[in-house]
Structure 1
Amino acid sequence: MKSKLCLTVLAALVAAGNAQASVDLVATGQIDGHLRDRSPQAAAALENGVPGNLLGGIGSGLAYAGCDTFLALPDRGPNATPYNRWVDDTASYIDRFHTLQMQLAPNPAGSALPFSLTPRLRDTTLLSDRSYLYYGDGRSVDLPDGRPRLDHPFRHYFTGRSDNAVPSMNSGWPLDARLDPESIRVSADGDTVYISDEYGPYVYAFDRKSGQRTAAYPLPAMFYVPKVAPVGDDEIALNTVGRLANKGMEGLAITPDGHTLYGAMQSPLLQDGGKNGSVTRIVKIDLRTRKVSQYAYALTNIGKASKPKYGTISEIVAVNDHQLLVDERDGNGFGDGSEAAFKHLFLIDLGDAQDVSQLQGEAELVPAAVPKADFLDVVAMLGEHGIAPADVPAKLEGVAFGPDIEQDGKHRHTLFLGTDNDFLPTVTDDLHPQGAENPNRFYVFAFDAQDLPGYQPQRFEHLRCHGH
């Protein structure tokens, strides 16, 4: 009864907003995928020949840091360039985040969109730890050892290479050097960034200025696979519990008061159905007590009733301390050689949701799954502005609320979406046989208060914006 009531309330809230038809695309922007980032010390070619400072994949995670500043997070690096299947084509790309300035400016009357977005790269911060990290010796995968050239005492860098994991430990070992960052959020004081990952899954805190790790937030043992391997398919075959390889903690949200993190698993745990499961988990982490709670989220069947196929979670963002927007999508679109069909933002409310920490398996999780209501059909919205499904990026992954704007005399909120271009500056496929540029893209949507009545912007301490 409670679930039905929650669903009714959620649907009513979203329907009220949709009746106004006010959620709309207001700006797009991009950064050239051929550019280099601001880490010249990491510029040397990787094992696959790709420059170590190629500015790619930066929409894997996106966090608002106040004013016109955002932090953009690439994932584990350019593994879409094949060279060594024994490490899933991963390389010694040093994990990092970028500081971007995102300027929104009104366009002249009659323009296709009411605002222009100009993203600029301001800084690049490499991720490291003072403690020694484990790097693979490379012998079993026919590679040099996995230690980055920049590694030195008291600064040991995290990288994307998949063999940088202690073979005798489970996937949650915090001294593994391998890290596949997927989402990023900024603390209330602005000094710390929180990053979630797929290899562990890990949730780490890093100093925003230096990039050094300052804390780790362990998850329950059920999230870790007991046996690690450099090839994802091998890791799946070796385990019956824990996260699905390359489907770990894809989403991370921080509540407006900065006290709580929510983390979303991209797909169900192995013991909950893995590739064929329909219910994944969202964790709640109290940053003060480190207490962890868990909730069930039912993925959308984007296949057929007779042959189900489920979407995956790419990101979550906090609306307030108990409501989240969930970015759930298919893998289709530009970059995949197909047409995008399913990319939605759903609103969920965890305020009265059941803690499923003691439940295991799809049958137990299904009745406990939280209701969800459709907030935004991204493919349809982009289509209204002339962006065909074949040109909608396959990997719309970064989601963040941004600065408020004034539009037609109204005060409006913004929501930014970023794309992961897989470090591929150009794409050639059946739909783009002559090749097409593949920049780091950003989309800005505006919405009114009635579209998301519970929305509370994140509070940043000591923030001073020019012109405010």
Structure 2
Amino acid sequence: MTSKVWLASLVSVGVLSGCANNLVTAPTSSFVDNFPKQGSELPYSVLRDDLIDSKTNQPFEIRNGGFGSAMTANPNQANQFYALTDRGPNADYSGEYGKGKSFPVASYTPRIGLFEVSADGKVSMVKSILLKRPEGSLISGLPNTSALGGTGETPYHSNGQPVLMNDNKPYDKATNAIKLDDYGLDGEGLVALKDGTFWVSDEYGPHIVHFDSNGVEIGRINAFKDDSRDIYHLPAVFQHRRANRGMEGLAITPDETTLVGIMQSTLQNPDKAAQKSDLTRIVTVNLITGKTEQYLYRQEQNENSNSEISTLTANKFLVIERDGGFLLGGPDGMSKAKPNAQKHVYRIDLSTGTSLSNVALSSSITRDESHGLMIDGLTLEQFTIKNGWEALAEKGIKPVNKTLVVDMVKAVAYPHDKMEGLWVIDGHHLGVLNDDDFATWSTKGKLEQKHLDKNTIDSNRLYIIKADLMGK
């Protein structure tokens, strides 16, 4: 099935409406009642165990694992969920060919895992779906070229050699260049549709890619109008995403007509100086018409991370907002423990925020093709840094309302740095999943095992929380 055929079939479904709601309000299976409070570990395999930990000087495991970048319900079976990996294990690295990333498993293929929760709370993997190009070959997690959002990251092997088109031959700029991949994804958002297909959003473009049930690409949306693969385009302002902080969350309305994506952090709009802010953007894409809309989300702290968005109704969604701290100190030990680590889930309502396309233009408020809505010659990011949110409200622009639903540190003493997966099980139960980074960490570009405390290696762990998701 191609994306255009699929989109045409949606025409009869309807459009975004405030009352659309497919959320189950009563528990759908007994597994939620018997689930252990301390969570349940997801299974993993070992990708390699021959590298030496830079802290212990002992071999350590790189695990797959890694199924924590996004999470969503299997719409066809209540006790199953899908989870997404990102581009694969990596670490900051600066080598002979410039700054970039070390990819200790450079051939890694991003994938979607289907997991099942049994009545006793054990989590098992049902299957793994490798992501593929339209013709069926495997994609990689390597960076895109600059024309499609690449930020100049050079991919390196764990031995410090660059990843080349042919690693068996020496580097040559013309005949054996550094390997980049315009189909490469750093996946962070996941939607599973009732027809068995998926949408994945990422941090590179950001790209939003439609995959069939076997993981083969059948459509794409991004902000690059020259990309012939696109079925629709995002507003050009999303080209200014901050490196490695792209479209971190993706959801879809209950009628499956409208994608809703959230950016992890403030855009570099128009430059890096603008990114140190608490203003982030939400974008909706109507899959029937291609029409987009934008809303603003205000973070609790500058440079926090919005790590997931999940659907409640056509206008109400859950959003993970977190910092990067470890409750127990993580790899840096107890001296870096953060008892006030922020791992929050908020409920938002898009209807309470200003839709940016409806803001009236004037001598003060204009639109720029690349930078979007401008006020007195400043981007929204710049204007808010300079003048504050009250001044923005005086211009008729307000963020969406948000209400705290779950504080995971208070609820379960959440020990992980990353909280990136949400599974809306029913109106009173929420699944939460961490990203374990393939159990790897790095200090000054050197790889090591990722620990939560002195004795505990980080792993993907599912938590199920009882909470009033819908509110009044």
Does residue 446 (structure 1) correspond to residue 466 (structure 2)? The answer is: yes
Given candidates 87, 101, 113, the residue that maps to 1:76 is: 87
Shift of the alpha carbon at 1:24? Answer: 13
Does residue 63 (structure 1) correspond to residue 72 (structure 2)? The answer is: yes
Q: 2:267 matched to which residue of 1?
A: 269
Does residue 117 (structure 1) correspond to residue 117 (structure 2)? The answer is: no
Do the aligned partners of 1:25 and 1:381 also contact (CA within 8 Å) in 2? Answer: no
Shift of the alpha carbon at 1:220? Answer: 1.2
Does residue 370 (structure 1) correspond to residue 400 (structure 2)? The answer is: yes
* Partner Cα distance (2:317, 2:356) in 1: 18
Q: 1:398 matched to which residue of 2?
A: 421
Q: 1:196 matched to which residue of 2?
A: 201
Shift of the alpha carbon at 1:345? Answer: 0.9
Change in 2 beyond 3 A, CA 1:220/1:336: farther
SS at match of 2:237: helix
Do the aligned partners of 1:205 and 1:213 also contact (CA within 8 Å) in 2? Answer: yes
Shift of the alpha carbon at 1:440? Answer: 1.2
Change in 2 beyond 3 A, CA 1:83/1:439: farther
Shift of the alpha carbon at 1:169? Answer: 4.9
Structure 1: tracts of 5 or more residues without a match: 1-22, 37-42, 106-115, 131-153, 225-241, 302-308, 405-411, 455-468
* Partner Cα distance (1:81, 1:32) in 2: 27
Q: 2:189 matched to which residue of 1?
A: 183
Do the aligned partners of 2:70 and 2:420 also contact (CA within 8 Å) in 1? Answer: yes
Q: 2:317 matched to which residue of 1?
A: 324
Do the aligned partners of 2:449 and 2:457 also contact (CA within 8 Å) in 1? Answer: no
Do the aligned partners of 2:451 and 2:457 also contact (CA within 8 Å) in 1? Answer: no
Cα displacement string for residues 408-442 of structure 1 (whole angstroms, at most 9, x for unaligned residues): xxxx6321000111111798689734x42322111
Does residue 289 (structure 1) correspond to residue 289 (structure 2)? The answer is: yes
Q: 1:423 matched to which residue of 2?
A: 438
Cα displacement string for residues 17-47 of structure 1 (whole angstroms, at most 9, x for unaligned residues): xxxxxx99964211245x25xxxxxx79999
Shift of the alpha carbon at 1:92? Answer: 3.1
Cα displacement string for residues 350-395 of structure 1 (whole angstroms, at most 9, x for unaligned residues): 124212254232226753222212111111111xxxx3xxx61111
* Partner Cα distance (1:57, 1:374) in 2: 27
SS at match of 2:464: strand
* Partner Cα distance (2:420, 2:317) in 1: 15
Cα displacement string for residues 189-213 of structure 1 (whole angstroms, at most 9, x for unaligned residues): 3x211111000001111012x1101
Q: 2:453 matched to which residue of 1?
A: 432
* Partner Cα distance (1:46, 1:401) in 2: 39
Letter in 2 for 1:437: I
Do the aligned partners of 2:266 and 2:303 also contact (CA within 8 Å) in 1? Answer: no
Letter in 1 for 2:242: L
Q: 2:157 matched to which residue of 1?
A: none
Q: 2:140 matched to which residue of 1?
A: 159
- Percent identity over paired residues: 31
Q: 2:172 matched to which residue of 1?
A: none
Shift of the alpha carbon at 1:277? Answer: 1.7
Change in 2 beyond 3 A, CA 1:299/1:97: same
Q: 1:361 matched to which residue of 2?
A: 380
Cα displacement string for residues 127-167 of structure 1 (whole angstroms, at most 9, x for unaligned residues): 1112xxxxxxxxxxxxxxxxxxxxxxx323221122xx234
* Partner Cα distance (2:131, 2:61) in 1: 14
SS at match of 1:223: helix
Letter in 2 for 1:246: N
Do the aligned partners of 1:63 and 1:186 also contact (CA within 8 Å) in 2? Answer: yes
Letter in 2 for 1:414: H
Q: 1:101 matched to which residue of 2?
A: 116
Do the aligned partners of 1:336 and 1:394 also contact (CA within 8 Å) in 2? Answer: no
Q: How does 1:122-271 map to 2 (within 5 A)?
A: 122-130=126-134, 154-162=135-143, 165-171=144-150, 176-189=182-195, 191-208=196-213, 210-217=214-221, 218-224=233-239, 242-271=240-269
Shift of the alpha carbon at 1:48? Answer: 11
* Partner Cα distance (2:284, 2:450) in 1: 40
Q: TM-score, normalised by structure 2?
A: 0.65
Letter in 1 for 2:42: I
Shift of the alpha carbon at 1:60? Answer: 1.2
Shift of the alpha carbon at 1:76? Answer: 0.9
Do the aligned partners of 2:84 and 2:111 also contact (CA within 8 Å) in 1? Answer: yes
Shift of the alpha carbon at 1:69? Answer: 1.5
- CA RMSD in angstroms, aligned pairs only: 3.4
Q: 2:300 matched to which residue of 1?
A: 300
Change in 2 beyond 3 A, CA 1:178/1:373: same
SS at match of 1:423: helix
Change in 2 beyond 3 A, CA 1:170/1:428: closer
Cα displacement string for residues 36-84 of structure 1 (whole angstroms, at most 9, x for unaligned residues): 5xxxxxx799999999994221111111013212111011111149696
Q: TM-score, normalised by structure 1?
A: 0.66
* Partner Cα distance (2:264, 2:401) in 1: 18
Cα displacement string for residues 212-242 of structure 1 (whole angstroms, at most 9, x for unaligned residues): 0111123111111xxxxxxxxxxxxxxxxx0
* Partner Cα distance (1:78, 1:46) in 2: 14
Corresponding residue pairs, total: 344
Shift of the alpha carbon at 1:87? Answer: 3.1
SS at match of 2:428: strand
Letter in 1 for 2:436: N
Letter in 2 for 1:186: A
Shift of the alpha carbon at 1:124? Answer: 0.9
* Partner Cα distance (2:146, 2:303) in 1: 32
Does residue 89 (structure 1) correspond to residue 102 (structure 2)? The answer is: yes
Do the aligned partners of 1:52 and 1:93 also contact (CA within 8 Å) in 2? Answer: no
Letter in 1 for 2:72: A
* Partner Cα distance (1:68, 1:129) in 2: 30
